[in-house]
Chain A
Amino acid sequence: MKKILKYFLVFIALFSFVLPVNAKENDKITLYLFYGDGCPHCAEEKLFLDEIKGSYDNFEIVMYEVWKDKDNQVFLNKVKSELGIERSGVPVTIIGDTYMVGWSEALEGRVTRAIRFYKNNEYTDVVEQIKNGTYVKPVEEESSFEKEEEKSDEDATIDVPLIGKVNLKNVSLTTAGVVLGLIDGFNPCAMWVLLFLISMLLGMKDKKRMWTIGLTFLGSSALVYMLIMLSWLNIVVSIATSIWVRNAIAVVAIIGGIINLVNYFKHQDSGCSVVDEKKRKSVFSRIKKFTQEKSLILALIGAVALAFSVNIIELACSAGLPLVYTQLLAINNITGFGAFFYVLLYIIFFLLDDLVIFFIAMKTMEVTGFSTKYNKYSHLVGGLLMVAIGLLLIFKPEWLMFQF
């Protein structure tokens, strides 16, 4: 028995460093939610809080309705003025001395991190203190949790020689953009149009005209894809706080992924599937018409119109990859210039194979093509990725939030 106790003590001594330093657990953590009855974002946050409330011991949620209840409204105004909250609107969430105004999916991780933080660190129930008049404004405006968040953001930053500071969160989204864009690009749906266009361009004598029409077609394809992705992102950002929307996108990703996998296993022979005759002939006659157009302006208008119609129609063929990427951007709360940058990155890699084929053709005056084996493998990799992302969106969305 003594021997066992000795080994046990040695074991504890050796492995004590893996035990959390802040092992102290606070008795009770209270999350305060000030909401409006009928406010959709509040309803979404309430759904989320319902999901997580059972996951923590000694954790309670106190809710105040402020649109209909005048007393609660007065109390919220008092809390806001004491804490210096200038932003208007509901929901207002307060845990310890940390507050959040509004609700989006990105805040889910912040709420759970804040609960975990206050469970193991200094916790003061400021709302309770304001209520009973014992609250004293702290000297520092930033809460201890906010400081910790800033620190972890700095921890996620690494120094890369020549490049400088790089945030791992951005690296994850960049990698996802490169990989998903490349896989989407190898999808053969729109490639046949480009190959036909190049073969028509090669019949021309005027090299400058060939470059202009070809690059206009590729540039317009990039533009239409970008417009579709950015507008989709805008819609997703405004409604994607809803778990139902996120789950619906996840289901689309899983179905798209399964379609890709079925295509991979069903079509073990690589090759080009013959496009529907009516569609093929209509695209061919359009390309012939605008490439033979005397006026360059009219030829360019034809190229732009073709790029728009082909890419919109063929978007369904991508089986949801752009949709999945915009959802990744949305749950990481990437908007504005950041969103533009990531979507642009996706599109550059999406168009990479087209650009390579176009440049080789213009230089060698011969049409070349990538082996269709790459298309086959893009179905396999794309399918697996989409199913995985879809499942994560439903069961472990926080893993896709790239919060380090």
Chain B
Amino acid sequence: MKVVKINAIWCSGCLVMNKIWKNILKSKNIETINLDYDMDEDEVKKYNVGDLLPVFIFYKDDKEVKRIVGEKSEEELLKIIEEVGE
């Protein structure tokens, strides 16, 4: 599984979720690509992101299988990871 995370340094919800994600990565082996909404502007455009951050895009075999928008709790994230399957 691969996850593309789109955050912004000015977004408090992204900061909260970064901590949660770091915690999850301690026990899960998930390839994560971090993109900043402002610094990686051109790259971010490719993902057709709306006006709510953060955005987590889950890939399996290079195909997008799930996209979550906005702040989610650790439990919700773990449930999604389970659904998608490592």
Binding site for B on A (CB under 8 A): 188, 191-193, 195-196, 199, 267, 269-275, 280, 284, 357, 367-373
Contact = CB atoms under 8 A, between A and B. Distances in A.
A205 B38 CA distance: 24
A274 B52 contact: yes
Contacts of A273: 51-52
Given A284-B38, A369-B16, A372-B71, A272 B9 contact: no
Contact of A195 (B12, B37, B71): B12
Contacts, number: 74
A193 B9 CA distance: 10
B37 A274 contact: yes
Contact of B9 (A196, A269, A271): A196
Nearest to A192: B10
Given A269-B69, A284-B38, A274 B13 contact: no
Contacts of B54: 271-272
B20 to A, nearest CB: 10
Contacts of B37: 274
Given A269-B69, A271-B70, A274-B37, A195 B51 contact: no
Contact of A196 (B10, B16, B19): B10
B14 A272 contact: yes
B52 A272 contact: yes
Given A271-B71, A273-B52, A274-B51, A372 B10 contact: no
A367 to B, nearest CB: 6
Interface string B1-45: 000000011111111100100000000000000000110000000
A134 B37 CA distance: 85
Nearest to A268: B70
A195 B52 contact: no
Nearest to B10: A192
A280 B38 contact: yes
B38 A272 contact: no
A70 to B, nearest CB: 69
A272 B53 contact: yes
Contacts of A199: 9-10
Interface string B42-68: 000000000111100000000000000
A269 B14 contact: no
B14 A371 contact: no
A267 to B, nearest CB: 8
Contacts of A373: 71
A370 B12 contact: yes
A284 B41 CA distance: 14
Contacts of B53: 271-272, 274
A195 B70 contact: no
Contact of A270 (B10, B13, B38): B13
A195 B13 contact: no
A270 B9 contact: no
B13 A371 contact: yes
Closest CB pairs A-B (n = 9): A369-B12, A271-B70, A272-B11, A369-B15, A269-B70, A192-B10, A372-B13, A271-B52, A270-B71
